[in-house]
Amino acid sequence: MGKTLAVSPLAPASFPELPVISGVRFASAEAGVRYKNRTDVMLAVLAPGSTVAGVFTRSATRSAPVLDCQSKLAAGGGASDAGAAILVNSGNSNAFTGARGQTSVAELCMAAEKATGVPQSRIFTASTGVIGEPLPHERIVAKLDELTGNLSEDAIKGSARAIMTTDTFPKGACKSVTIDGKTVQIAGIAKGSGMIAPDMATMLVYIFTDAVVEQGALQSMLSSLTDRTFNCITVDSDTSTSDSLMLAATGASGVDASNSDAFRTALSDVMLDLAHQVVRDGEGATKFVEIRVTGAASDADAKVHGLAIANSPLVKTAIAGEDPNWGRVVMAIGKSGAAADRDLLSIWFGDVLVAEKGWVSPDYKEADGAAHMKGQDLVIRVDLGLGDGASTVWTCDLTHGYIDINADYRS
């Protein structure tokens, strides 16, 4: 792990008070996979009747646990009356570990079945940390009885801590929603700070609800909301081999939310909150940047432009330097590959109109742009003047801190 990192200046003031989600219990433990003197494994056990959905990295070199989760979900995830379990370790990603990686996953699932009574077909594992070193799964196996014995509905915060790697703060978010006069709860945790880019970076996210949501509806809700939340954030354009986002519905509230727009909106809010927290913990980040693109030829084009701006090292270093360098924004739009007409382009930093119709705005004063850049939460707005396509993406700046963390931490 090397040195201890200072908490990100963009971190929320505190971890939120997450509600109990009836039907799911948590535990964490110190298995000593790699780190010393901290928890590094979490177990969540879901009551019989729970449905589970997942979205995973699209990397062609994805890890053994990701492949295992995908094949189990593709097979329907087994009977939901069997309950389900999620077992996650930090410190070692069990990625690019060949046949041995698959053996580790099998050993973990077998041991978890034995300890929890949940069948292996409903046990989902994830590993995050160093790539290419064998996972000492026996250290986790040795902790399964302790974990099972400690399961508690109140222990979600401990799980948020156990899955951290280079994260500087644990991430949680929640929302309640009233459907037919009854309240359902949604609560989630996440880890991730580097290798963050669309298609799921080194990011693990687990979201739980006590609503009743039919399996197919749960998966389709999760997939479509991911495109507007986790796939709209980027720290460094790098995509990990291990990203996993899972959503489980215990049904304990007895309220069916399968077709509820209010539930969908609340879930989207929780996902966006967690996604923003991941960016706020971007390695070395000192600025949180929202990039709003409008007037594109299509929504897809708008997202291409937004991500080109968000991933440009020159834009990100200018932001770090508090330089309202709109020329680099123009450069990024130009290279993105999506449609743009230089002479129809307008750019704002915050509410300050910087450039319009292909040139600097006549009323623009550099001091106004510079004043906006001194803030911690920035908005860069671009209108392409071509159509109705729009997209918003989020990123952070590129600082010396990023180099410090990544030039000497083997992650």
The answer to whether residues 262 and 209 touch, using CB atoms and an 8 Å cutoff, is no
286 near a second copy, judged by CB under 8 A? no
User: % helix / strand / coil in the chain, to the nearest 5?
Assistant: 35, 25, 40
Residues between 90 and 119 that touch a second copy (CB under 8 A): 95-101
Q: Whole-number minimum distance, CB 17 to a second copy, in Å?
A: 35
- By beta-carbon proximity to a second copy, the closer residue of 39 and 244 is 244
Q: Would you call 229 a catalytic residue per the annotation?
A: no
- By beta-carbon proximity to a second copy, the closer residue of 110 and 403 is 403
Annotated binding-site residue numbers: 165, 191, 202, 283, 406, 411
* DSSP, res 291: E
Interface residue with a second copy among 45, 131, 272, 293 (CB under 8 A) is 131
Annotated catalytic residue within 57, 202, 234, 286: 202
314 near a second copy, judged by CB under 8 A? yes
**C-alpha to C-alpha distances, 338 to 296, 299, 394, nearest whole angstrom:** 9, 11, 19
- By beta-carbon proximity to a second copy, the closer residue of 185 and 231 is 231
323 near a second copy, judged by CB under 8 A? yes
Q: Is the dihedral of CA 253, 257, 260, 262 positive or negative?
A: positive
Which of the stretches 217-225, 261-269, 274-282, 402-410 binds a second copy when contact is defined by CB under 8 A? 402-410
* DSSP, res 241: S
Q: Find where tokens 């290279």 sit.
A: 335
The answer to whether residues 250 and 208 touch, using CB atoms and an 8 Å cutoff, is yes
Q: Which two tokens stand for residue 228?
A: 């507007």
- By beta-carbon proximity to a second copy, the closer residue of 53 and 382 is 382
- By beta-carbon proximity to a second copy, the closer residue of 64 and 112 is 64
Q: Whole-number minimum distance, CB 241 to a second copy, in Å?
A: 6
* DSSP, res 202: S
365 near a second copy, judged by CB under 8 A? no
Q: Which residues, listed in sequence order, are joined to residue 186 by a DSSP beta bridge?
A: 175, 209
Best CA proximity match to 349, nearest among 307, 377, 321: 377
Interface residue with a second copy among 34, 276, 328, 372 (CB under 8 A) is 328
Interface residue with a second copy among 1, 297, 331, 371 (CB under 8 A) is 331
- Distance, in Å, from the CA atom of 129 to the CA atom of 110, rounded to the nearest integer, reads 22
Q: Which two tokens stand for residue 235?
A: 């720290």
Q: Whole-number minimum distance, CB 238 to a second copy, in Å?
A: 5
The number of angstroms, rounded, from the C-alpha of 194 to the middle of its chain's C-alpha atoms is 11
Annotated binding-site residue numbers for substrate: 165, 191, 202, 283, 406, 411
Interface residue with a second copy among 24, 130, 289, 373 (CB under 8 A) is 130
SS3 195: coil
Best CA proximity match to 152, nearest among 29, 16, 38, 45: 45
237 near a second copy, judged by CB under 8 A? yes
* DSSP, res 32: -
277 near a second copy, judged by CB under 8 A? no
25 near a second copy, judged by CB under 8 A? no
Q: Whole-number minimum distance, CB 265 to a second copy, in Å?
A: 31
Residues between 132 and 161 that touch a second copy (CB under 8 A): 132-133
Q: Whole-number minimum distance, CB 144 to a second copy, in Å?
A: 26
- By beta-carbon proximity to a second copy, the closer residue of 26 and 394 is 394
Parallel, antiparallel, or unpaired: how do β-strands 288-296 and 346-349 relate? unpaired
- By beta-carbon proximity to a second copy, the closer residue of 20 and 339 is 339
76 near a second copy, judged by CB under 8 A? no
Residues between 382 and 401 that touch a second copy (CB under 8 A): 398-400
* DSSP, res 344: G
Interface residue with a second copy among 239, 244, 253, 395 (CB under 8 A) is 239
- Distance, in Å, from the CA atom of 164 to the CA atom of 157, rounded to the nearest integer, reads 11
Q: Whole-number minimum distance, CB 65 to a second copy, in Å?
A: 14
**C-alpha to C-alpha distances, 225 to 17, 24, 232, nearest whole angstrom:** 24, 23, 10
- Distance, in Å, from the CA atom of 50 to the CA atom of 252, rounded to the nearest integer, reads 9
Parallel, antiparallel, or unpaired: how do β-strands 377-383 and 288-296 relate? parallel
- Distance, in Å, from the CA atom of 21 to the CA atom of 369, rounded to the nearest integer, reads 45
Residues binding a second copy (CB under 8 A) = 57-62, 95-101, 130-133, 194-195, 197, 199, 236-241, 311-314, 317-318, 320-321, 323, 325-328, 330-336, 339-343, 345, 355, 357-360, 398-400, 402-403, 406-408, 410-411
Active site amino acids = 202
